[in-house]
Amino acid sequence: MAPLDLLKTREGLVRTVFMAALALVPLVAYAASELFYVEFATRIMIFAIAAVGLNFILGFGGMVSFGHAAFIGLGAYVVGLAIYYGVYDGFVHLALVVVICGLAAFLIGAVCLRTSGLYFIMITLAFAQLLFFVGVGLRQYGGDDGFTFRGHSTFATWLDLRNSITFFYVVWGVLAATLFFAYRFVRSRFGMALSGIRSNEHRMRAIGLPTYRYKLVAFAISGVICGVAGALLANLTQFVSPEYMHWTRSGELLVMVIMGGISSVFGPVLGATLYLVLEELLSSATEHWQFLFGPILILVVLFAKKGLMSALKIAGLSIGGRAGHG
């Protein structure tokens, strides 16, 4: 099956329709003079990128990281600080984010992946909290209040992220590219090795694969993707704070991924969308929105056990052809 079977499979169809609909958001928002929707959709896409990044290790590698918000925060701080010190070049930002988040994920992963299961969850959480408190301790950058800055990543004179429409389409492009790479990765030999590790790591070692280094590379890739999402988030909010790295943020990211469905590449995009839309709707209705959000989550888990992506399958949205990946 080709990786870009845009309409052939159910997942391909959902993905194509969804991404096309997203691309139309700015037009609709302009027509309705509701520019807020552009910003909101941008936010959704940023968290969708992070969720796809997390699912790369969660769904396909079986590693439940409870600390991936740390990489979002790190990416955001890198861009925030660069702009704070007058560096606006987007390519420099990107290079810094890839190197710093990649290195951080590599080091954190190197320690965390010595463990597995519950211990892995706890130790990723511990590292994220460590970075959170480092952020709180940075008094010259606002401590736990964080800091605001003015300016955006600029890639070329005609391509800076100040214009909210340009920014929207750049984020759309990054999401599309992330999805494309994720599809290639999970079907490649590397992806197959990763599913083997998730399915039966013991056996994977027995057939001769040193599993640790594969998990570590996957973890680092996943950290970089979340870092890029963080860099985009900083551009969107013009603000960074340790709160981005708080453990509840890592939890939200997990909820997005699980709600969307961990067994498909695209599921987490749906999960991030549903999460943020619900949050928006419910919090505008009541201050105690989490009181309503909780039960809805329980319903999703009860009735769409494998996430929204599989729920769509059961609802019969299939138009011939089975899911691209198990």
Long-range contacts formed by 117-121: CB under 8 A, 24+ apart = 120/63, 120/64, 120/65, 121/64, 121/65, 121/66
Q: Is 139 or 202 the residue whose CB approaches other proteins more closely?
A: 202
Amino acid letter at 266? F
Q: CA-to-CA distance for 61 and 69, rounded, in angstroms?
A: 18
Q: CA-to-CA distance for 125 and 142, rounded, in angstroms?
A: 23
Neighbours of 36 (CB within 10 A): 11
**Residue from 92, 217, 282, 311 that binds other proteins (CB under 8 A)?**
217
Find the part of the chain contacting other proteins (CB under 8 A) among 27-35, 111-119, 141-149, 190-198: 190-198
Smallest gap from residue 109 Cβ to other proteins (A) = 16
Find the part of the chain contacting other proteins (CB under 8 A) among 73-81, 104-112, 142-150, 191-199: 191-199
Find the part of the chain contacting other proteins (CB under 8 A) among 152-160, 171-179, 189-197, 305-313: 189-197
Q: Is 214 in the site for other proteins (CB under 8 A)?
A: yes
Is residue 123 within 8 Å of residue 107, measured between CB atoms?
no
Q: Is 8 in the site for other proteins (CB under 8 A)?
A: no
Smallest gap from residue 263 Cβ to other proteins (A) = 9
Amino acid letter at 1? M
DSSP letter string, 280-304: HHHHHH-TTHHHHHHHHHHHHHHH-
**Residue from 204, 236, 274, 304 that binds other proteins (CB under 8 A)?**
204
Q: CA-to-CA distance for 217 and 201, rounded, in angstroms?
A: 16
Find the part of the chain contacting other proteins (CB under 8 A) among 75-83, 187-195, 239-247, 277-285: 187-195
Q: Is 212 or 239 the residue whose CB approaches other proteins more closely?
A: 212
Smallest gap from residue 316 Cβ to other proteins (A) = 22
Q: Is 184 in the site for other proteins (CB under 8 A)?
A: yes
Q: CA-to-CA distance for 70 and 77, rounded, in angstroms?
A: 10
Q: Is 152 or 198 the residue whose CB approaches other proteins more closely?
A: 198
Q: Is 210 in the site for other proteins (CB under 8 A)?
A: yes
Find the part of the chain contacting other proteins (CB under 8 A) among 40-48, 120-128, 150-158, 186-194: 186-194
* Cβ contacts of 12 within 8 Å, gap of 6 or more: 4, 5, 6, 324
Smallest gap from residue 212 Cβ to other proteins (A) = 10
3-state DSSP assignment of residue 146? coil
**Residue from 193, 216, 282, 297 that binds other proteins (CB under 8 A)?**
193
Q: Is 180 in the site for other proteins (CB under 8 A)?
A: no
| H or E stretch covering 31 | helix 10-31
Q: Which residues form the interface with other proteins (CB under 8 A)?
A: 1-3, 184-185, 187-193, 195-196, 198-200, 202-210, 214, 217, 326
